[in-house]
Amino acid sequence: MISGGFNIYPKEIETEIDKMDGVLESAVIGVPHPDFGEAVVAVVVRTGNSHISEEDIIRYIKSLMANFKVPKKVIFLAELPRNTMGKVQKNILREDYRALFA
């Protein structure tokens, strides 16, 4: 994805989010943003009874990466959408949240 003229590789951000206590898995997507072209959004599945928050995730990523890679928003879901092969369907996530910054 490209945000504010910078290339961003979602896997790099997902890898760090997935290391966090309380996170089962994550998917990082780009959604349309009026100022940046695309904004980084993290979609996260918590483990069991985890209470990890949006602020916790943003603070952690901010401590590791450049500001343009930090998610502008974190969304929590019970599970990520997958196809029959088990692959996360990021196209569905992008469609579901495309109006997030409209």
Give ∠ CA 39-41-42 in degrees, rounded to 5: 160
Q: 52-79 pLDDT, tens per residue?
A: 999 999 999 999 999 999 999 999 999 9
Q: 6-37 pLDDT, tens per residue?
A: 999 999 999 999 999 999 999 999 999 999 99
CATH of the domain at 43: 3.30.300.30
Domain encompassing residue 21:
2-96
Residue 79 within a domain: yes
Residue 102 within a domain: no
Residue type, 55: E
Residue 28 within a domain: yes
Which helix (H) or strand (E) covers residue 101, if one does? none
Q: Is the pTM of this model over 0.85?
A: yes
Residues 82 and 64: their CA atoms lie apart, in Å, by 29
Residues 53 and 75: their CA atoms lie apart, in Å, by 10
Please tell me the total count of domains within the chain: 1
Residue 90 within a domain: yes
Residue 13 within a domain: yes
